[in-house]
């Protein structure tokens, strides 16, 4: 197979990190940017990483997909609050065999995009990484960095494997996983920690230090696992919740993406991280009362936080 070409739609903490790693490894990567387009166009991208800092002094930077070439692989790193923008952003990047990888948080993302683009090849990208972009063109990678790819609708197994190989050759720990299991596996961490750091205005380490919040985080994780089990995903059990708790204890104190969105008065990704999975689980006969309560608190906080911005 010929060398693949890539586009990153949403060059933030996650899309920017993986795109920069691929570009550093010699892949052709085109970057779509918004607020820091001019900065990146002039200065490139910089990654401060626990695995070693690096910079890309010059990258193909764009402020519109209409000026970007069609590519073999689109890595979508947009916040899911902007999911509707993909209707107009994706078409200029597509050719008949393009694979779109949604490196986003939540449940139901691929189903919605597939409805908009029925013949499109889609995969989920589940990133396990602590990373943030708080300055123009500067990504701060704190720890972890692996990614799991779950095939949603790609019939071209050679293309899918080539993407995995490109990630691995770029020094990224990448693996193929079952799609549905991977989405719910990621939700076991995302649903408790994203919302709780906002609701209680804290970071991950503090939540696990206090006995009351530690117990609540565990109970929320078990709600997600119960929902996954009700949907036929049997590989998740109590041991996975314990593993996630231990992994989080070993992390640096961390503010997840939803906490950063709240702090910067940006809309929070409540629909796909909370509302959609809660509704999906309820349709399967499994209520999630603790997480539904958290969802309602987040809806209130989101409305208050963005009212004047």
Residues catalogued as catalytic: 186
* Residue 64: how many other CB atoms lie within 10 Å: 11
CA distance 60 to 253: 34
* Residue 68: how many other CB atoms lie within 10 Å: 19
Taking CA atoms, 240 is separated from 61, 184, 185, 189, in Å, by 40, 12, 9, 10
**Spatial CB neighbours of 213, under 8 Å, sequence gap ≥ 6:** 196, 200, 206, 207
CA distance 24 to 6: 13
**Spatial CB neighbours of 163, under 8 Å, sequence gap ≥ 6:** 4, 73, 99, 101, 123, 149
CA distance 295 to 199: 10
Tokens of 79: 């916040």
Q: Tokens 């708790």 belong to which residue? A: 245
CA distance 188 to 127: 13
Pairing mode, if any, of strands 61-62 and 54-56?
unpaired
Phi-psi region of 23 (alpha: psi -120 to 50; beta: other; left: phi over 0): alpha
């Amino acid at each position: 197979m010929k060398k693949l070409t890539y586009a990153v739609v949403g060059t933030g903490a996650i899309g920017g990190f993986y795109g920069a790693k691929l570009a550093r490894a010699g892949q052709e990567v085109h970057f779509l940017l918004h607020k820091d387009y001019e900065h990146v166009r002039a200065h490139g991208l910089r990654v401060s990483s626990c695995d070693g800092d690096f910079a890309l002094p010059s990258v193909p930077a764009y402020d519109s997909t209409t000026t970007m070439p069609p590519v073999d692989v689109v890595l979508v790193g947009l916040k899911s609050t902007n999911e509707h923008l993909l209707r107009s952003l994706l078409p200029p990047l597509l050719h008949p065999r393009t694979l779109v990888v949604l490196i986003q948080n939540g449940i139901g993302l691929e189903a919605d995009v597939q409805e908009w683009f029925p013949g499109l090849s889609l995969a989920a990208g589940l990133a396990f990484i602590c990373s943030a972009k708080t300055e123009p063109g500067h990504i701060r990678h704190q720890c972890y960095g692996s990614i799991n790819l779950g095939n949603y609708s790609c019939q071209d197994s050679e293309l899918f494997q080539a993407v995995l190989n490109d990630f691995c050759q770029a020094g990224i720990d990448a693996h193929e996983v079952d799609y549905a299991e991977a989405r719910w596996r990621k939700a076991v961490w995302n649903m408790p920690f994203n919302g709780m750091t906002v609701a209680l205005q804290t970071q991950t380490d503090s939540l696990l230090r206090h006995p009351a919040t530690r117990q609540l985080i565990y109970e929320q994780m078990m709600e997600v696992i119960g929902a996954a089990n009700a949907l036929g995903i049997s590989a998740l059990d109590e041991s996975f919740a314990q593993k996630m708790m231990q992994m989080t204890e070993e992390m640096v104190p961390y503010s997840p993406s939803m906490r950063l969105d709240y702090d910067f008065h940006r809309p929070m990704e409540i629909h796909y991280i909370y509302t959609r999975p809660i509704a999906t689980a309820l349709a399967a006969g499994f209520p999630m009362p603790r997480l539904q309560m958290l969802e309602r608190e987040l809806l209130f906080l989101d409305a208050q936080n963005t009212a004047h911005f």
